[in-house]
């Protein structure tokens, strides 16, 4: 039998004491350190000590081969529903798992993004007590640490316990592992080689692929271990070493053998099999690969969807695979690539349902990601002329309403949205777009009483996504204008929490928070949020990006930081265009505050007046009131007359308060 690896492990008791303190305080713990220092063993000792305090203890084991597949590490604990959005799946998982259990997540740095998001949501909701092991070694077959995992200790949800034993050397450890694996009997090493391409493996499949004797021998040599979700390497480094000994062709042969024996029951298993098949010599049916790509898209695994969708296109080019790849690319902000994929279609050969399915992502991608709103709008109009069914035309009208709103044409947006919402032919997608657009246009035009009902209608349509922030911005705007800015901030914070750590939703939620903070007179807090959110949104193509830079310029200008405000203003101006014309008044307000910071009082007042005019031209009466507030604060003595006229159109607490401020300064 080969010599065992001489592990240099961290002292147990000090770490166990830290974990115990954290658990007694009601938080979890993260054991963090290099590979091979005993993190998993310490986690096992934690379980031995505290298990009686919990009704249930479960282990989740992440692996390199599971990393591309959504929820793969949780497959033994809950079944991913066959339908429903990412949010619905996460909600179902929280309901299934959130029973105050102790949840041990081994090698959490290898979790796929959705599993990491689930762990974060369970922790922030205090519905589980998490204990994690996290490797700091990112150089050896280890993906980037998921943001949600790092956020656990950054947000104070778990105590960070660092393990760095004296005498631990990566190079020496790797050499010992290589020697151990090289010295294994060939049939035992073969078990590890199969685990290098699929970890874990069901015990039955492992025995079929090798032999029952080889599996027993591998267990006896302490090369592998058996857990509730299958056969695994006793140490991830063992599988790494086995993988490094193999060439590409041999790895393909191993994957081919695994795919042919692997069951494919359930969403996760089908995706796992599809991923393995991509780098094997097994030729799956094109329909299976296409279906897997659509599953990945539904779950928000965009990179996986792209990879599977491109494989499906190679097997059998068709519209479904092209749409999956197009959506995946567009939602990653890769608009030009998405347009190339979607444009390789002859619309004259499509049926009417196919034409509609193709036109929606094509138009949306051109409007936002390619910054070609005129082209996108014309494309929608020409496509609508080819459609005959009322339902299809209504759906295109709903998207047209969203385009009109973003282009600053509130009258047209309201007209289209009202017609869609009154139509018996409007499906959930149409209602979601139309109601969210109507909520925001109502708020900005001063029809505050209509906003909440429209926002609820949009949410009830079951098509929330980023539209939730459109209707939510309508609600926060209405709350600011009706004298409840603190409630506006609280709602914006809830929307941000709804997005969790997922982008770009979180960044958009922070933009809404910043807008409320500016209204509350807290520009410094707004700047803190906007610096990161503006950078996050910049490459996406969404009109939220220019708005973030506009608000950042405003907040910095209010703080008197002229140079920084000017830089943010330049970025806002360079990114602003027809697709963000709704926010033209905010851009003029940003110029006003930047000029003020530069001590250009004349230019500041002139820009504030420009903001008022831009808002009034677009029918954005509520926004005109906010611009007039800026004019008053910057010393415009002519603002009161305009204020009184606008307040005759929209009577609200914000307007009355601004009138009082203006009169107090005359």
Please check the confidence at residue 9 and state whether its pLDDT lies above 90: no
Core vs surface per residue 84-122: b (16+ CB within 10 A) or e: ebbbebbeebbeebbeebbbbbbbbbbbbbbbbbbbbbb
Question: pLDDT digit string (tens) for 86-139?
Answer: 888 998 999 999 999 999 999 999 999 999 999 999 999 999 999 999 998 644
Please check the confidence at residue 149 and state whether its pLDDT lies above 90: yes
Mean pLDDT, the chain, whole residue set: 92
Please check the confidence at residue 385 and state whether its pLDDT lies above 90: yes
Please check the confidence at residue 491 and state whether its pLDDT lies above 50: yes
What's the confidence (pLDDT) of residue 5? Answer: 72
Please check the confidence at residue 478 and state whether its pLDDT lies above 80: yes
What's the confidence (pLDDT) of residue 2? Answer: 46
As a dihedral over the C-alpha atoms of residue 386, residue 392, residue 397, residue 398, rounded to 10 degrees, the angle is -150
Please check the confidence at residue 284 and state whether its pLDDT lies above 60: yes
What's the confidence (pLDDT) of residue 370? Answer: 92
Q: SS3 for 405-443, per residue?
A: HHCCCHHHHHHHHHHHHHCCCCCHHHHHHHHHHHHHHHH
Residue 198 phi/psi, 5-degree rounding, is -150, 100
Residue 629 has which token pair?
A: 């507030």
The residue among 303, 281, 265 whose CA lies nearest residue 67 is 303
Q: Which residue has the higher pLDDT, 381 or 9?
A: 381
- Asked if residues 44 and 180 have their Cβ atoms less than 8 Å apart, the reply is no
Please check the confidence at residue 192 and state whether its pLDDT lies above 90: yes
Residue 347 DSSP symbol: G
Residue 198 has which token pair?
A: 């699929």
Residue 201 DSSP symbol: B
Q: Which residues pair with 128 in a beta bridge?
A: 101
Report the distance separating Cα 255 and Cα 284, nearest Å.
13
Please check the confidence at residue 524 and state whether its pLDDT lies above 50: yes
Please check the confidence at residue 3 and state whether its pLDDT lies above 60: no
Transcribe 548-613 into DSSP letters. Answer: HHHHHHHHHHHTT-HHHHHHHHHHHHHH-SGGGGGGHHHHHHHHHHHHHHTT-HHHHHHHHHHHHH
What's the confidence (pLDDT) of residue 1? Answer: 44
Q: What is the rounded average pLDDT of the residues 52-73?
A: 94
Please check the confidence at residue 167 and state whether its pLDDT lies above 80: no
What's the confidence (pLDDT) of residue 107? Answer: 95
Least confident range of 167-171, 546-550, 610-614:
167-171
Residue 385 has which token pair?
A: 């002329």
Question: pLDDT digit string (tens) for 64-83?
Answer: 999 999 999 999 999 999 98
Q: What is the rounded average pLDDT of the residues 147-165?
A: 92
Q: Grade residue 11 by pLDDT with cuts at 50, 70 and 90.
A: low
Residue 34 DSSP symbol: S
Transcribe 361-391 into DSSP letters. Answer: HHHHIIIIIS--HHHHHHHHHHHHHH--SHH
As a dihedral over the C-alpha atoms of residue 623, residue 627, residue 632, residue 638, rounded to 10 degrees, the angle is -100
Please check the confidence at residue 10 and state whether its pLDDT lies above 90: no
Please check the confidence at residue 407 and state whether its pLDDT lies above 90: yes
What's the confidence (pLDDT) of residue 300? Answer: 87
What's the confidence (pLDDT) of residue 547? Answer: 98
Q: What is the rounded average pLDDT of the residues 547-562?
A: 98
Please check the confidence at residue 189 and state whether its pLDDT lies above 90: yes
What's the confidence (pLDDT) of residue 463? Answer: 60
Cα dist from 519 to 37, 54, 59, 458, 655, whole Å: 51, 46, 47, 26, 13
Cα dist from 138 to 107, 149, 474, 483, whole Å: 12, 14, 43, 50
Please check the confidence at residue 616 and state whether its pLDDT lies above 70: yes
Please check the confidence at residue 518 and state whether its pLDDT lies above 60: yes
pTM of the model: 0.86
- Asked if residues 413 and 437 have their Cβ atoms less than 8 Å apart, the reply is yes
Q: Grade residue 642 by pLDDT with cuts at 50, 70 and 90.
A: very high
The residue among 563, 475, 570, 551 whose CA lies nearest residue 507 is 551
- Asked if residues 309 and 329 have their Cβ atoms less than 8 Å apart, the reply is no
Residue listed under structure tokens 């298990």? 51
Residue listed under structure tokens 């249930």? 56
Question: pLDDT digit string (tens) for 212-266?
Answer: 999 999 999 999 999 888 999 999 999 999 999 998 899 999 999 999 888 888 9
- Asked if residues 492 and 513 have their Cβ atoms less than 8 Å apart, the reply is yes
What's the confidence (pLDDT) of residue 645? Answer: 95
What's the confidence (pLDDT) of residue 466? Answer: 81
Core vs surface per residue 257-284: b (16+ CB within 10 A) or e: bbbeebebeebbbbbbbbbbbbebeeeb
Please check the confidence at residue 207 and state whether its pLDDT lies above 80: yes
Q: What is the rounded average pLDDT of the residues 55-70?
A: 94
Please check the confidence at residue 140 and state whether its pLDDT lies above 90: no
Coil, strand or helix: which one is 146? coil
Report the relative pairing of strands 101-106 and 57-61 from DSSP bridges. parallel
Please check the confidence at residue 368 and state whether its pLDDT lies above 70: yes
Q: Grade residue 464 by pLDDT with cuts at 50, 70 and 90.
A: low
Least confident range of 104-108, 227-231, 361-365, 625-629:
227-231
Distance from the first to the final alpha carbon of the chain: 93
Report the distance separating Cα 322 and Cα 311, nearest Å.
11
């Amino acid at each position: 039998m080969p010599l065992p690896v001489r592990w240099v492990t961290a002292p147990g008791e000090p770490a166990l004491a830290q974990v115990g303190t954290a658990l007694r305080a009601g938080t979890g713990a993260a054991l963090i350190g290099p590979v091979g220092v005993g993190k998993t063993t310490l986690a096992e000792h934690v379980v031995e000590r505290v298990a009686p305090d919990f009704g249930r203890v479960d282990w989740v084991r992440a692996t390199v081969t599971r990393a591309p597949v959504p929820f793969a590490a949780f497959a033994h604990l809950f079944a991913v529903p066959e339908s429903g959005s990412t949010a619905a799946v996460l909600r179902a998982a929280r309901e299934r798992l959130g029973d105050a259990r102790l949840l041990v997540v081994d090698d959490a740095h290898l979790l796929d993004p959705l599993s990491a998001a689930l762990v974060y949501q369970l922790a922030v909701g205090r519905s589980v007590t998490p204990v994690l092991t996290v490797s700091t070694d990112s150089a050896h077959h280890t993906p980037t640490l998921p943001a949600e995992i790092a956020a656990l200790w950054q947000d104070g949800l778990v105590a960070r316990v660092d393990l760095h034993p004296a005498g631990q050397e990566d190079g020496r450890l790797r050499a010992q592992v290589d020697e151990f694996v090289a010295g294994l009997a060939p049939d035992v090493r073969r078990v590890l080689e199969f685990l290098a391409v699929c970890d874990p493996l069901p015990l039955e499949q492992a025995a079929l692929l090798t032999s029952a004797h080889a599996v027993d021998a591998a267990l006896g040599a302490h090369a592998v271990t058996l857990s509730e979700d299958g056969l695994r390497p006793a140490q991830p480094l063992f599988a790494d070493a086995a993988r490094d000994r193999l060439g590409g062709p041999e790895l393909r042969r191993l994957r081919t053998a695994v795919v042919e024996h692997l069951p494919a029951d359930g969403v996760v298993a089908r995706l796992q099999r599809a991923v393995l098949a991509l780098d094997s010599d097994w030729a799956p049916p094109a329909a299976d690969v296409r279906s897997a790509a659509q599953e990945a898209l539904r779950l928000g695994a965009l990179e996986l969807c792209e990879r599977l969708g491109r494989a499906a296109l190679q097997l059998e080019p068709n519209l479904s695979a092209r749409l999956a790849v197009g959506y995946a690319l567009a939602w990653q902000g890769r608009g030009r690539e998405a347009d190339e994929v979607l444009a390789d279609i002859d619309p004259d050969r499509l049926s009417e349902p196919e034409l509609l399915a193709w036109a929606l992502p094509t138009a949306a991608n051109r409007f936002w990601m390619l910054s070609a709103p005129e082209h996108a709008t014309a494309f929608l109009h020409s496509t609508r002329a080819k459609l005959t069914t009322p339902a299809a035309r209504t759906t295109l009208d709903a998207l047209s309403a969203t385009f009109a709103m973003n282009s600053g044409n509130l009258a047209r947006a309201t007209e289209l949205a009202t017609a869609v919402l009154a139509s018996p032919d409007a499906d959930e997608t149409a209602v979601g777009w139309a109601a969210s657009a109507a909520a925001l246009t109502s708020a900005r035009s001063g029809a505050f009483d209509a906003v909440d009902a429209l926002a609820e209608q949009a949410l009830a349509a079951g098509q929330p996504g980023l539209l939730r922030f459109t209707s939510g911005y309508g609600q926060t705007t209405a709350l600011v204008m009706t004298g409840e800015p603190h409630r506006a901030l609280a709602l914006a914070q809830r929307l941000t929490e709804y997005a969790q750590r997922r982008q770009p939703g979180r960044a958009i939620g922070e933009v809404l928070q910043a807008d409320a903070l500016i209204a509350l007179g807290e520009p410094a807090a707004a700047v803190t949020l906007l610096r990161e959110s503006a950078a996050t949104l910049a490459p996406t193509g969404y009109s939220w990006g220019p708005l973030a830079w506009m608000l950042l310029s405003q907040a910095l200008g209010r703080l008197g930081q002229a140079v920084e405000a000017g830089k943010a203003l330049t970025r806002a101006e360079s990114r602003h265009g027809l697709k963000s014309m709704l926010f033209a008044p905010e851009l003029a307000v940003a110029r006003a505050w930047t000029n003020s910071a530069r001590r250009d009082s004349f230019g500041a007042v002139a820009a504030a007046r420009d903001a008022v005019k831009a808002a009034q031209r677009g029918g954005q009466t509520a926004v005109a009131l906010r611009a007039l507030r800026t004019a008053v604060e910057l010393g415009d003595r002519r603002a009161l007359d305009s204020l009184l006229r606008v307040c005759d159109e929209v009577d609200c607490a914000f307007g009355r308060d601004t009138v009082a401020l203006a009169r107090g300064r005359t």
